[in-house]
Structure formats: C-alpha cells, structure tokens
Structure 1
Amino acid sequence: MREKIWKGFGIFGMICLGLIIFSVLFKGLFVSFTRKNVPVYELEKGIIGTPLPAGVGTGKEKVTKEEGNLLPETTSRMIIKSGWLNLVVKDIVDTAQKISKFAQERGGWVVSSNISQSEKILSGSITVRVPAESFDESMEYFKSLAERVSNERTQAQDITEEYVDLQSRLKNLEAAESQLLEIMERSGTISEVLQVQRELMNVREQIERIKGRMQYLEQSVKMSSITVNLALSEELLPIPPAEKWRPKYVLLQTWKNVLDFWKSFSYLLIKIVVWAQVWIPFGIICVLIWKYWKKRKIKKG
C-alpha cells in the first residue's frame, strides 16, 4: 500500500514538474511566433451596423422601385470619399503638424496621430477628417509637403442605396411602434401589457440602431477621411496593395523580425533563470521520491 502511495506521489511530482517546465519554456516562444507584425499606423475604423433581430416590425422589407427613385430627385448621391498617401518627407514631426493645422483650418480635425521610433529612425502616420468639398484640395496640399509620393490611393463609396434602405426600415419600424402603442392602450391583462412592452422595447432598440447608422453615414459623407503615412525613406513606408516587388523592404522587415525573436528568446532565458528557484528544488524533491521508491521496490524484490 505504501509503495503505491509513494509511486503516486512520484508520478504526480514528475507531471507537475513537466508542466512547469513546459509552461516556462514555451510561453515566450509561443508569444514570439504568434505575434503579428502590427504596423505603426492605424486607419480609422468606422461603425459597423448591427444586424436587426427578428420580430415585429423589423423594417427589413425591400425598398420598392418608387421609393428608390425618390432620393435622386430630393438629394444628391451620397458618396463617402477616402484617401491614403505614403509620403517620403524630410521632417516627420513638422509635416504632421502642417497636416493637422491644414485640416483644422478647413473645419476638420485629427482622428489619430502616431509617431514612432524604431532603431533610432522615425516614422509616423496621421489620419484627418476634412470637409468633402475640400478633399481634392487637401490631397494636393499633403502631396506638396513630400519630397516623393510613394503611393496614392482614393476611394469613393456610394452609400445611397444603403441610406434609402435604412430610411425605409425606419419608416416601417416607426409605424410598428405606433401600432404597438395603440395595442398597449387596448390591452387588458398584465401579461398582455408586458408582452406588448417587450415588443415595443425591441422595436425602439432597432430604431435607435438605424438612426445611429444613418447619422454615421451622413457624417461620413460630409467629412472625408485621409490617412497619410510618413517616413524618411521609401523602405520604411507600408507596402502599397498593388506593389509586389520590394526586396529591400522585405529584407529589412525580416531582419527586424529575427532581432525581435532573439530579444524574446533572451527574455525567456531570464525567466527560466528566475524561476529556477522554484522548479529546481521541486525537481530535486521529485527525483529523491522516485529514487526512494525504486530502492524500496528493489529491496522488496
């Protein structure tokens, strides 16, 4: 009986020791291998509309041809303009300040700004919002600040159809809300009132979502987004989507990844040395228990 107990303790100790060593050794390597190379710039993220739940008055009815043809007669097409620039400049900080000042003078604002330093080399990114009517002027001014324009990209997204569809859904939901209010007034029992109230809350939640989405689209149409990536040399700029051959840039990025790996590996070794005060005594105890159990087994045999 004692031999089984000692054997159980020995196996349990060896398993615990193995788990500790495994977690210490491979945690740092796993983080290093799975870490994604996140660029220093971030494009502004728009609000994504949440799908409407099913229920009374969901407003998902298709827009009729007559409803779709009404918008061009009353308002112009709704276009969201966006622009991206990769610029090689002499002074990153000064250029970013000029871009920010220009956007504010035109009635816009800075959405995000980031200047980072890697291996004592500066690079930066700035995203601004400018009025749609100043979009072309802003793009030309930002390009004039550069020694060289590495990449330029613009996008015009027509959201007229989506906006008309949201208007139709909102109209249907507001009609459903009115009907539910009338039903609530005629309801007699408490259970009926509570049921209608739940449906009413669901419809009102959908109405608020649609109104929020419509407001976001209206604001995006009025204010265009421009993202400018800044660097002292072309190799430090992000690779444009259409460009496929940049061996120097890939070489530099790969070398940087290798250095990051060895840096993470050195941190891992430090952790192993520090944790040695825990796993070495625990390992010695497990080994002694194992040897003791082996000796008892031999003596008994």
Structure 2
Amino acid sequence: AVYACQGGAPSSSDTTTVTADRLGLQSKALNPPAATATAGAAASARRGYFGDAANPSPPEAEFSAASADHRASQASTADDALQNVNAATTAAPTMVIRTGQAFIEVDKVDPAILKIRQLAAQVGGYITNSSVSGGRDQIRQATLELKIPAPKYDQAVGSLSTIGKVETVNSTAQDVGEEFVDVTARVNNARRLEDRLITLLNTRTGKLDEVLRVERELARVREEIERYEGRLRYLSSRVATSTLTITVHEPAPILGNNPGENPIARALRRAWRNFIALVAGVIASLGVVIPLALVAVGGWVGYRRWRRRQISP
C-alpha cells in the first residue's frame, strides 16, 4: 500500500510503521481471525503516517501498538497456516486432463473417416483438426483430432473397434487439481488486496502523485486477477473436454507375383521396357555425340592436309 505524507522525507519510525503494516497484511492473509487486531493496529499506523487533523497521533506510539499485536499473534500464525494448507490439500478437487491417441487399420480411408465423424456425434463431441495423406505407390492414411466430453471418453475409446482393426491405443491423464487450488488461492488473495486498495482510495486523501500511485497498484492487482481467472477457465475447459487423436490407414500392399502371371511374358515386358529405355538414352545422347564427332572429323581432315604439305617437296 502507498500512503500520503504531510511533507518531507519519512523518518525511520515512519518506515518501521509501514513495515509493521505489511507484516499485518501477511498475517491476515494466513489467518484472518488472528490477524484482525494486527490489521487494526496497522490501520492506526497508517492514520498516523498520513496525519489526522482531528486526532493527531505520533507514528511511534501507533507502531508500538502494531508491534505488540503482531508479536501476540505471531506465535499462532505458523500453526494456523499449516492447518489452512492441510485443509486446502484435503479439499483439493479431482481435476484430470485426459488425452489419447489411437492407430487403426481399415480397408478404405474414406468410409473410416465417416465412421469417426459419426462416433464424435454419438458421444457429443466434435472434430477440431483433420488431415489426409497418400498418393501413388503410398499408403493412404488420415488423422482426426476429436474433442470429447470427459465423461464420454471411455465410451469413445471402447467404440474404436467399430471403425477397423485397432492396433494401439495410448491414454494419458494429467492431474491439475493442485494447480487449480493454488491459482484459486491467488485469486482470493488478490481480491482482498483489491478491496483494501479501493477502501484506501475512497477514504484517504493525499498528494496527487500518491493517489495516482495507489491507482496504478490497483490496476496491477486487477490485471493479476484477470490473468488468474483466465487460467482457471482454461483448466476447467481442459478438464471438461478430453482429446482423442485417431489415425486410420489402409493395409500395406503385399509384395510378390500376381497369381496366374506368366513369367515369360513378364520377362518379355521387362526386356521391351529396357530396349525402349536404351533407345531413348541413345537419342538423348545425340545432342552431345554429334557435335563432338564433327569436331573430331574436322580435326582429322585438317591433320591429313597438313601432313601432305609437309611431305610434298
């Protein structure tokens, strides 16, 4: 919290008063019933720091009262905090994010995709992502990602056998109950701090820069609350909806001779294909061979003429 000064730099006793006030805040966060007196003493310390025109009070006296109350409650703070932690752990909800992945062999991919869409509709889910791959001399396969209500996840996994031959199914579960409880506690603490800042902003007067400082702190706390609440909504959505990724593929072709095929006819077809490939290679090489042959012939003719001139007297 930020407090207004009457003027000049705060003394050491004033600084100690602010420290005692912060200790009172921490004690109240851990044990609200035990920290009531501390919070009251801290409020008195703040009044002395700001300055009260009606009832001026020295900051040193209010700090002594706050310190006495804080020492009185300090002994029970640790035990109360431990009890609060144990209670929160016991009350932690069961929140599990379930995800799965399945591989299925099917005769044809297109009918299998239709069955997967029907399965998603039966369990009240929907398809978010899908992809189909395959081509010439490749095995066709498709991958679909399903979002399913968490209570229907087991039913969806049990119905995979109606699509085709189930090869593998992998399921994982992530418990986020501890994180949910932690973020919820952060939201509650931030809201209490927000209420105190609003009260301080409405009931206290001071310099303009100090008021603006409180408003900036209030904006920061509200931003934290929004971030925590967004995380809680995300966790709740993930827990309520499970993810199942299904990959279907056609069977791999069996390599071997076709039944009833004549080996002589197969050899003749291979020989014909090789002959065609040879002729095509020769034709393609003519673009290189012919220029080289012309150069070689021209060189040989020139050499012959030069030799004749050398031999003749």
Q: Normalization by structure 2: what TM-score?
A: 0.50
Residue 114 of structure 1, aligned match among 126, 131, 142: 131
2:249 maps to 1:231: yes
With over 3 angstroms needed to count, the CA separation of the structure-2 counterparts of 1:65 and 1:225, relative to structure 1, is farther
Counterparts of 1:137-148 in structure 2, within 5 Å, are 137-147=155-165
What is the identity, as a one-letter code, of the residue corresponding to 1:177? E
The answer for the alignment partner of 1:201 in structure 2 is: 219
Deviation per residue, 1:177-199 (Å, 9 max, x gap)? 11121222224322122212222
Please say if residues 146 and 244 of structure 2, whose CA atoms lie closer than 8 Å, have aligned partners that are also in contact.
Answer: yes
Deviations 1:15-50 (A, max 9, x none): xxxxxxxxxxxxxxxxxxxxxxxxxxxxxxxxxxxx
Larger radius of gyration: 2
In the alignment, the residues of structure 2 paired with residue 203 and residue 118 of structure 1 have an alpha-carbon distance, to the nearest angstrom, of 56
Q: Is the 8 A contact 1:87 1:228 kept in 2?
A: yes
Residue 221 in structure 1 maps to residue 239 in structure 2: yes
Among residues 157, 173, 177, which one is paired with 2:174 in the alignment? 157
Q: Number of aligned residue pairs: give it.
A: 175
1:253-264 matches, within 5 Å, as none
| Alpha-carbon distance between aligned partners in 1 of 2:247 and 2:90, rounded to the nearest angstrom | 37
Residue number in structure 1 paired with 2:188: 171
TM (norm. structure 1) is 0.52
Name the SS of the counterpart of 2:145 in structure 1.
strand
Report the 3-state secondary structure (helix = DSSP H, G, I; strand = E; otherwise coil) of the residue aligned with 1:110: strand
**CA 204–118 in structure 1, closer or farther in 2 if over 3 Å, else same:** farther
Q: Cα deviation per residue 1:214-256 (whole Å; 9 max; x = unaligned)?
A: 1111121111111112221479xxxxxxxxxxxxxxxxxxxxx
Q: Which residue of 2 aligns with 1:3?
A: none
Which residue of the partner structure matches residue 244 of structure 1? none
Structure 2 CA distance for aligned equivalents of residues 65 and 226 of structure 1: 40
Q: Work out which of the residue numbers 93, 108, 133 in structure 1 matches 2:110.
A: 93
Residues 68, 164 of structure 1: 8 Å contact kept: no
CA RMSD of aligned residues (A): 2.9
Amino acid at match of 1:225: T
SS in structure 2 of the partner of residue 188 of structure 1: coil
Q: CA deviation at 1:118?
A: 4.5
Distance 2:117 2:86 in 1: 39
SS of match in other structure, 1:104: helix
Kept after mapping to 2: 8 A contact 1:116/1:123: yes
- Change in 2 beyond 3 A, CA 1:217/1:64: farther
Structure 1 residues 196 and 104 mapped into 2: Cα distance closer, same or farther (>3 Å)? farther
Instruction: Work out the CA distance in 2 between the residues paired with 1:232 and 1:219.
Output: 35
CA–CA separation in structure 2 for the residues paired with 1:213 and 1:189: 37
Q: Is the 8 A contact 2:99 2:243 kept in 1?
A: yes
**Does structure 1 conserve the Cα–Cα contact (< 8 Å) formed by 2:88 and 2:181?**
no
Task: Tell me which of the two structures has the higher relative contact order, counting C-alpha pairs closer than 8 angstroms and 6 or more residues apart.
Answer: 1
C-alpha distance after superposition, 1:151-194 (max 9, x if no partner): 21101111111111011111111111111212222243221222
The amino acid that maps onto 1:123 is Q
Tell me which residue corresponds to 1:69.
Answer: 87
User: Is residue 2:141 matched to residue 1:123?
Assistant: yes
Q: For 1:111, give the aligned amino acid.
A: T
Q: Secondary structure at the match of 1:97?
A: helix
Q: Which amino acid aligns with 1:139?
A: V
Query: What is the Cα deviation at residue 69 of structure 1?
Result: 3.3
Query: Structure 2 vs 1, CA of residues 166 and 76 (structure 1 numbering), >3 Å: closer, same or farther?
Result: closer
| Matched AA of 2:214 | V
Secondary structure of 1:77's aligned partner = coil
Q: How much has 1:212 moved relative to structure 2?
A: 1.1
Q: Give identity over the alignment, percent.
A: 28
